[in-house]
A and B are shown apart, each in its own frame.
Chain A
């Protein structure tokens, strides 16, 4: 049993992180708790520290609105955190949709639905999310509203859990079925522009997964669990850090690696000076 906890330690921590945040925000709306109030697009920590979704604010700017300082400061705080520390950790540690897509991914793995030679029902490039960012911003500009916020299943689900979801369950269900039946890691790994946005700004983050090729036995377990398996292409070939922006820092690869060839680490900032 303790072995299970050890091999799922980050998964458990992530679920605690995701669910705690949700419970705190639901409590803020239902019972007036003051720890963190609002939702994922904007919230306030201890009624003091503003936290804004920088991508949402970018769309608001593209729509041509001017806003108060508070949101801008909040966006800066969040953006700086992900630029320097977290990279795309939002996706695996905060985002509620991750619960849904992980469930779909787990069932796919459990039922062995991924065949290497399969053509796939739908083929999607992992770059579609970057196009989605572009379309979001252009549409925001043309329509004068934050365009992705009108269709974002992320905010739909999150807002829904806190303020009442209506038919939002359908959006959540769609993503579940899409990930389960159509494309492996379809939403988070291919389409979601919010994840794409954090990929773009998180390329130079400090926290990265480090790989030691000498220890690697090439069992490929890490690649099986990774939601962005392209980023592990160097595993077993070359030591180094997984510095791709697409890494969500979920730590699944670290957990499943029995050889300790993958570990969380801090990027060496002064690497260049050393050589």
Chain B
């Protein structure tokens, strides 16, 4: 057992340095993983509503520096900055329409104060001659979604609160007059949201008289679908012009289109997999 008699070799400084480096990197890795996981969880609230002039959520989170200038500029105290406990991406501006909707100021004071361009006036402006004029009707903060089962108008009770409050009355929100089949002698005054026009300001949700609002604002990409460009409204001259921009060969591959139509209709009759 003569190995025991040997004195332990002094640890070389290179070895020490390497060990310290590895240890530091390991600690950084642990910290970074926990921190990154927290940020990743924290930044994801798919149902948050942003001020006008904001890009898609992912780009907005990149650009927003959380300075609160838009919140300060909002004259109705609609906008607020997410504080810890709000379960929203920390420090970013958002609004809750049921409590305080966007009042759609014509000069849009919250947008030009943004220092980074996370809110951009170009996204809420229209061209007039050579001038870019702020046009809040172009804002797309969200879109109103109506629950027919709790909306009193669908029951046959007259209520047009949302319709009358809508800042874009008769454009974003219209009333359809239908026959009330239950009584056979009354009309149903049915509110109808037009997604193309709706800015998502949330005044309708704010004024809705039901205990929990029957019309509510959601981020547009959570609610709206998208027809692929091969579907064209042949009766609409403007829509038909889109044909000119579509390439000759145009295919969209989906899960079902991988097989020929005969195959999936004849094989055991399974339509959906």
Interface residues of A (CB under 8 A from B): 28-29, 32, 37-39, 41-44, 50, 52-53, 56-57, 60, 63-68, 70-71, 74, 131-132, 134-135, 138-139, 142-147, 149-151, 155-156, 159-160, 162-168, 170-171
Contacts and interface: CB of A to CB of B under 8 A. Distances in A.
Interface in B7-43: 24, 27-28, 31-32, 35-36, 38-40, 42-43
B242 to A, nearest CB: 31
13 contacts: A39-B67, A39-B68, A50-B115, A67-B65, A67-B117, A68-B116, A131-B28, A135-B28, A147-B35, A165-B83, A165-B84, A166-B84, A167-B85
A29 B80 contact: no
B156 interface: no
Contacts of A44: 69, 115
Contacts of A63: 62
Contacts of B72: 28-29, 32, 37-38
B86 interface: yes
A144 B80 contact: no
A138 to B, nearest CB: 7
B61 A155 contact: no
A249 B139 CA distance: 48
Contacts of A42: 65, 67, 69, 115-116
A66 B112 CA distance: 17
Contact of B62 (A37, A57, A145): A145
A53 B91 CA distance: 15
A156 B90 contact: yes
A159 to B, nearest CB: 6
A46 B232 CA distance: 54
A38 B32 CA distance: 30
A20 B72 CA distance: 19
Contacts of A166: 83-86
B39 A163 contact: no
A159 B116 contact: no
Nearest to A136: B35
Contacts of A28: 72
Contacts of B161: none
Listed residue (B42, B67, B89) with the most chain A CB atoms within 10 angstroms of its CB: B67
Contact residues on B (Cβ < 8 Å of other chain), bracket? 35 or more
A224 B116 CA distance: 43
B263 interface: no
A134 to B, nearest CB: 7
Nearest to A165: B83
Nearest to A166: B83
Contacts of B90: 149-151, 156
Nearest to A125: B24
A65 B83 contact: no
B100 to A, nearest CB: 14
A189 B65 CA distance: 25
Given A70-B115, A131-B28, A156-B84, A65 B91 contact: no
Contacts of B24: 131
A68 B69 CA distance: 15
B65 A170 contact: no
Interface string B163-202: 0000000000000000000000000000000000000000
A52 B59 contact: no
Interface string B32-75: 10011011101100000000000000110111011111011000
A137 to B, nearest CB: 11
Contacts of A65: 59, 62-63, 116
Contact of A71 (B38, B39, B84, B116): B116
A144 B43 CA distance: 10
B83 A167 contact: yes
B69 A37 contact: yes
Given A38-B72, A144-B62, A145-B61, A150 B38 contact: yes
Given A156-B84, A164-B80, A167-B84, A60 B69 contact: no
B29 to A, nearest CB: 9
B39 A147 contact: yes
Nearest to B63: A65
Given A60-B63, A159-B81, A143 B28 contact: no
Contact of B31 (A39, A56, A135): A135
A168 B83 contact: yes
A37 B73 CA distance: 10
A92 to B, nearest CB: 23
B243 to A, nearest CB: 35
Contacts of A57: 65
